[in-house]
Amino acid sequence: MKSGMYMTTLADVLIRLFNAHDISCTVENDWVFPSGQLPAIRCLWHPPSAKGAGRLDVEVLLANGNTLIESFAGLGEGNHALMDGVQNFVLGSFHVLLASLYGKNDPEQVTTERWSIGGTDWKVFVGNFSRRASQAQNISVPKSAFTSIETAIFNTPLTSELHWFRTFYCQVGNQQIFEALINNEPWQQGEVALKSIPWPQVAGYSSVRNFLVLAKDVKTSP
């Protein structure tokens, strides 16, 4: 299948996701514009290699010209791998983007809070922990996990109007992988927080992912 065919399919998938939340879309090139305006969103699919997973890149073009990027593994072959990546996107980040950037919040998928950090008020959109595991295992998330991530955010300089944080923990056999990003860049405080969490040790493969967005709370005069 050619990449252009993937692109068309993925644009259609995005449109259906937004339509399901009563948001109409327009399309320009490979960008989908929910409600016909920015932020625009698109997906790029990188098929799996002979021994690896495919990768779905989700790019969101923000009104200030910056691009929010989230990436998701897609396991399997052909279209199955592609749709596995889409499912990971829906479970991992879609509802947080929907709430924080497009004004549609599903309280079962996203927790909304207000935080004050360094004298600045923030609207916070916290996604559920998304989990994957081999051997049909039920992976538990330690109770201290989100508290550790939250503390790391409070200890991180926040200099923009919008910040997005992604944390990812993975265990493959005896190997542990810790990845933490802020605005697409390595996030040292987050990685330290991930390493402090008492993750359960299981056989095979397991992973836990979290995505959240902080938007500066600009209060309007009465």
DSSP letter string over 62-115? -TTS-EEEEEEEE-SSHHHHHHHHHHHHIIIIIHHHHHHHHS---TTTEEEEEE
Please report the pLDDT score of residue 202 as a whole number.
Answer: 83
Please report the pLDDT score of residue 136 as a whole number.
Answer: 62
Which position has the higher pLDDT, 149 or 204? 149
Closest CA to 1 of 50, 70, 47, 51: 47
pTM of the shown model: 0.93
Say if residues 165 and 117 touch (Cβ distance below 8 Å): no
Which position has the higher pLDDT, 5 or 64? 64
Percentage of residues of the chain with pLDDT beyond 90: 79
Across 67-80, average pLDDT:
93
Asked if the model's pLDDT at residue 7 lies above 90, the reply is no
Asked if the model's pLDDT at residue 4 lies above 70, the reply is no
Q: Where residue 175 falls among pLDDT bands split at 50, 70, 90?
A: very high
Percentage of residues of the chain with pLDDT beyond 70: 93
Asked if the model's pLDDT at residue 220 lies above 70, the reply is no
CA–CA separation, 64 and 25 (whole Å): 20
Closest CA to 74 of 53, 49, 101: 53
Please report the pLDDT score of residue 125 as a whole number.
Answer: 98
Three-state DSSP class for 120?
A: strand
Across 8-18, average pLDDT:
90
Asked if the model's pLDDT at residue 149 lies above 60, the reply is yes
Average pLDDT, the chain: 92
